[in-house]
Amino acid sequence: MNAGYTRRMTEASAAGSTAESAEAGAGRDPEAVSRFVEGFAAQLVDAGMQRMAARVFAALLASDAGAMSSAELGEQLQVSPAAVSGAVRYLSQVHMVSREREPGSRRERYRVHSDQWYEALTNRDAVLKRWGQTLRVGVDSLGVDTPGGQRIAETLAFFEYLEGELTKLMDRWREERAKTFGQGS
């Protein structure tokens, strides 16, 4: 997505009132929304995400409220509550959605937040740290002078590099997000 498109979308969003936004959502083409959800989900699956988790995530991302109940997700995606539950469990573990209770109800709603990509990548940073610790043990165990030790040392160096770059990248993203969308970190 280019900066011009992002700027136009942000300006259009800021210009519209809440009533206009709700009206626009009510007038959406359900077929077009479904095509988007399934298309984006397919791309997430190609990138390694579980199929049902990808579909649930894409549906939440496309919803006006950013939150839906299990029943709403099941109806939209034509799947069972058990399928939604399993997908939400996975998405919660990778910090892409959160669960919240509806006020005065025992029903849960599942919410995608505007910072879900940041949260998911931050979670990956924790994974990289754990992998780094394990790889250090591997290098020590095999010896840096062995072919296996050298491969593990190179893998460790790559993850350490990635970890440093990811931190800088997330800092730059917070600045860009605040500038483009007016949201603080």
pLDDT above 50 (res 19): no
Over residues 10-24, mean pLDDT: 42
Classified by CATH at the fold level, domain 3-111 comes out as Arc Repressor Mutant, subunit A (1.10.10)
**Any idea where the domains of the chain sit in the sequence?**
3-111, 116-181
Three-state secondary-structure class, residue 109? strand
How are strands ordered across the β-sheet holding 98-101?
Answer: 67-69, 108-111, 98-101
Q: Determine the pLDDT at residue 13.
A: 46
User: Which residues, 6+ apart, have CB-to-CB distance to 106 below 8 Å?
Assistant: none
Q: Which pLDDT belongs to residue 124?
A: 73
pLDDT-based confidence at 84, cuts 50/70/90?
A: very high
Q: What percentage of the chain exceeds 70 in pLDDT?
A: 82
pLDDT score at 171 = 87
Contact (CB, 8 A) for 97 and 116 = yes
